[in-house]
Amino acid sequence: MAEAHVAVAFSFAITHEGVNINYDREVLNLVWNSGLRSWKKRIARFMNNIHCGIYPASLSSLFILIALVTSFFVANVDVSFGGIHQLEHYIPGESLAPFTVQLAACVAYSFCLWVTTILFLRYTLKLLLMYKGWMFEGRLKKTSLKTYIWAALVRTLTAKRRPMLYSFQSSLPRLPLPSLEETMERYLHTVRPLLDDERYEKMKQMTFEFQNGVGKKLQLYLWLKSWWSSNYVTDWWEDYVYLSGRSPLLVYSNCYGLDYMPLPTTNQVARAANFIYAALTFRKLLNTQTLKPVTIQNFIPLCAWQYERMFNTTRVPDVEKDRVVHLSDSQHIAVYHRGRYYKVMLYNKRRLLKPVELQWQLQQILDDSSVPAPGEHHLAALTANQRTVWANARTTYFSKGLNKASLKAIEDAAFFLVLYDEDLDFDPNDPSKLNKFSRAVLHGKGYNLWLDKSFNIVVSKNGRVRID
């Protein structure tokens, strides 16, 4: 109970002398700043959604259109061809002045015209992006006149206003659904190298039976889903393949990237601090949606939803199917070094810490000579186990108390950082160094990567950085 009273920011007690109120001004200030920051992010996210939803138009274009239509109407020039007069009959309020009714009708007509224009431009862009002929032209084949005209139209629709990260999402075409016959043909082509002649003929018979049986019904379901959603594969693949898989994530699911750039420094904590700062700066661009959309040849947009759950995301194990938990914000990262786990704060009064401040915290971790608590050293090995085993262990040992709070601190982190205690590098003349480098990133020691996090940053003792 004593620890609980210390933790609260506001408390009161009733005594024989009256009511005694105690509060911690600093904690209340932190709570206020946290709430203020959360509401600012919500408002910014709401405004960003509006800007993305009306792309390629802008809010200023609406006000300009209202001013033009109203000015023409006042000058007895009806650019609506009677539409404004028709709308006057639907404006409520019989006591309103005639000019007020006309003004409201002009605003309503301008808004309808503005929305119609946005939808027309958006669906025009979607139709243009369905063209795939440009993929097969270029270096080996001369670009056709059709592709030149198509490129000019796409550039015209996308170059008027600087797009935000998700501005093109509603204009991207749906993932095309192949026919059942094409799917069966591709399947047989895929399995042919894996089967001998006898087994292949048997597989062809089974494919024929599927194609003329239940396959038609399943193809109809896929056709309906392809019209209902922009991608008929993503959610089902995530639910029934990725999250339902019970195999370990280690090696079976995770991937990695290596750092091949010349080392700017061999100081481990300096390299880690700069990478943390750069990653959080990138996260800010994602949150504000000011990151430039991914495009091909600087004008053909690609889907950007892969950025949505890049940070503040963890995969929570369950007995039958895992679930993905994504937080809108996270103020800390989790750090692993020599069997110990640390929670490193990233902000001070809504200000992102500078690299030198982050480096100081990481140096404190390196200088910490305390030994791991019982079971702490190999704790991350649970995330590398069978998913059902990890789910049962989580329920048994991490449902309450300090274990639950510690696990929450790791899972709620922006990402997971590993300060590796060995030198890692590569040498073109010594492939064994690259093999060691790759193994350290792919599976590490089996217990130093928190595989449930969206990504792990591993920084070696000599400053090499890699991502898992």
- The pTM of this model reads 0.81
Asked if 207 and 188 count as a contact pair (C-beta separation under 8 A), the reply is: yes
From the list 112, 105, 124, the residue with the least C-alpha distance to 62 is 112
* Residue 26 confidence class, pLDDT cut points 50, 70, 90: low
Q: Among candidates 90, 89, 88, 69, which has minimal Cα distance to 80?
A: 69
Phi, psi of 13 (to 5 degrees): -140, 140
pLDDT at 9: 42
Cβ(246)–Cβ(388) below 8 Å: yes
* Mean pLDDT, rounded, for 153-170: 81
Number of helical (H) and strand (E) elements in the chain, helices listed first: 15, 13
- Bridge partners (DSSP) of residue 18 are 15
Residue 10 is predicted with a pLDDT of 43
Q: How confident is the model at residue 1 (pLDDT cuts 50, 70, 90)?
A: very low
- Whole-number mean pLDDT of the chain? 83
Tell me the average pLDDT across 25-49: 70
> What backbone torsions phi and psi does residue 418 show, to the nearest 5 degrees?
-115, 120
Domain locations in the chain as residue ranges:
1-50, 59-159, 180-229, 257-467
What pLDDT, in 10s, does the model give residues 441-457?
888 888 889 999 999 99
pLDDT tens column, 165-175: 888 888 888 88
More confident residue, 104 or 322: 322
What would the pLDDT profile of 193-237 be if each residue is shown by its tens digit?
A: 998 989 999 999 999 999 998 989 989 988 888 888 878 888 888
* pLDDT value of residue 167: 83
Distance CA 331, CA 352 (A): 9
DSSP conformation class of 399: S
Please give the single-letter amino acid code of residue 464.
R
How would DSSP label each residue in 230-276? S-TTHHHHIIIIITT--S-STTTT---B---SPPS---HHHHHHHHH
Q: What pLDDT score was predicted for residue 93?
A: 65
User: At 210, which helix (H) or strand (E)?
Assistant: helix 197-211
Q: Which pLDDT does position 242 carry in this prediction?
A: 87
pLDDT in the model for residue 392: 94
Residue type, 264: P
Residues linked to residue 297 through DSSP beta bridges, in sequence order: none
Average pLDDT over residues 152-176: 82
C-alpha to C-alpha distance for 350 and 37, rounded to whole angstroms: 7
Segment 294-328, tens digit of pLDDT: 888 888 888 888 888 889 999 999 999 999 999 88
Q: Give every CB contact of residue 345 below 8 A, 6+ residues apart in sequence.
A: 331, 332, 353, 361
Strands 416-419 and 456-459: parallel
Q: Dihedral sign, CA of 414, 415, 416, 422?
A: negative
pLDDT in tens, 114-131: 888 888 888 888 899 888
Q: Is the pLDDT of residue 280 over 90?
A: yes
Sign of CA dihedral 430, 431, 432, 433: positive
| Fold classification of 257-467 (topology level) | Chloramphenicol Acetyltransferase (3.30.559)
User: What span, in angstroms and rounded, lies between the C-alpha atoms of 27 and 157?
Assistant: 51
Most confident of the ranges 81-85, 142-146, 261-265:
142-146
The CA distances from residue 198 to 193, 230, 462, in Å, are 13, 40, 56
pLDDT score recorded for residue 3: 31
